């Protein structure tokens, strides 16, 4: 649910919002049956709250009805859920279930191109390129590290190349 809410929102805002939501609606069936207005009021600060509330409740209903209230544990089943794309499914597989997964968000895609690990722009193709380079056991944490590095050091507008620990290894492709 938190990953679905994160679209067009910061992790900080999602992490501030979800405790009250999950406290009030602790199960998929409770969230699916909740009054839409109440769900909207709990997630209002995230923006696009009406659309997100609708998506959350549709997702909760699917999990409750089609999966017995449990989040499915396969990538194929996850991507069939409302509001869950491949990126979200990979986050869940890698982070929640500990399965090898490559999550290609904007940071992973940008840094993969910048570091010469992929020349692709389509997330699925970047995922394929990284899969060929990384052992399964390394995939999830590699993506977490890339996301952190992309937020803190190797930003889109102003990468901090002079102080970067990877400077000697990085070809710095397309660095402004």
> pLDDT (tens digit, 9 = 90+) per residue, 38-48?
999 999 999 89
> pLDDT (tens digit, 9 = 90+) per residue, 33-85?
999 999 999 999 998 999 999 999 999 999 999 999 999 999 999 999 988 99
Mean per-residue pLDDT over the chain, rounded: 94
pLDDT at 175: 80
CATH class in words for 106-163: mainly alpha
User: What DSSP letter does each residue of 43-99 carry, written as one string?
Assistant: HGGGSSHHHHHHHHHHHHHHHHHHHTTS--SSHHHHHTSTT--HHHHHHIIIIIS--
Annotated catalytic residue, options 11, 66, 76, 87: 87
Tell me if residue 138 falls in helix, strand or coil: helix
How many CA atoms lie less than 13 Å away from 127 in the CB half-sphere? 16
Question: Does residue 174 surpass a pLDDT of 80?
Answer: no
Residue 4 binned pLDDT confidence (cut-offs 50, 70, 90): confident
Q: 59 near 1, Cβ under 8 Å?
A: yes
Annotated catalytic residue, options 66, 76, 105, 129: 105
Whether 52 sits among the annotated catalytic residues: the reply is no
pLDDT at 3: 83
pLDDT at 76: 96
pLDDT: is 79 or 173 the higher one?
Answer: 79
Provide mean pLDDT across the span 16-27: 96
pLDDT at 11: 84
Q: CB atoms < 10 A from the CB of 97, how many?
A: 15
pLDDT at 146: 96
> pLDDT (tens digit, 9 = 90+) per residue, 119-154?
999 999 999 999 999 999 999 999 999 999 999 999
Instruction: Please give the CATH number for the structural domain made up of 2-96.
Output: 1.10.340.30
What residues does CATH 1.10.340.30 cover in the chain? Answer: 2-96
- Count helices and strands (H / E) in the chain: 10, 0
What residues does CATH 1.10.1670.10 cover in the chain? Answer: 106-163
């Amino acid at each position: 649910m938190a990953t679905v809410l994160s679209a067009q929102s910061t992790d900080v805002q999602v992490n501030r919002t979800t405790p009250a939501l999950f406290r009030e609606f602790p199960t998929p069936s409770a969230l699916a049956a909740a009054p839409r207005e109440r769900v909207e009021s709990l997630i209002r600060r995230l923006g696009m709250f009406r659309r997100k509330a609708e998506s959350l409740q549709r997702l909760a209903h699917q999990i409750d009805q089609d999966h017995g209230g449990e989040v499915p544990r396969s990538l194929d089943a996850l991507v069939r859920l409302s509001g869950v794309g491949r990126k979200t499914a990979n986050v869940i597989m890698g982070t929640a279930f500990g399965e090898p997964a490559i999550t290609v968000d904007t940071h992973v895609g940008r840094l993969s191109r910048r570091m010469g690990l992929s020349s692709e722009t389509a997330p699925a193709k970047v995922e394929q390129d990284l899969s060929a380079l990384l052992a399964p056991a390394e995939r999830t944490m590699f993506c977490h590290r890339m996301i952190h590095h992309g937020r803190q050091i190797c930003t889109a507008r102003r990468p901090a190349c002079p102080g970067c620990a990877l400077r000697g290894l990085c070809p710095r492709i397309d660095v402004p």
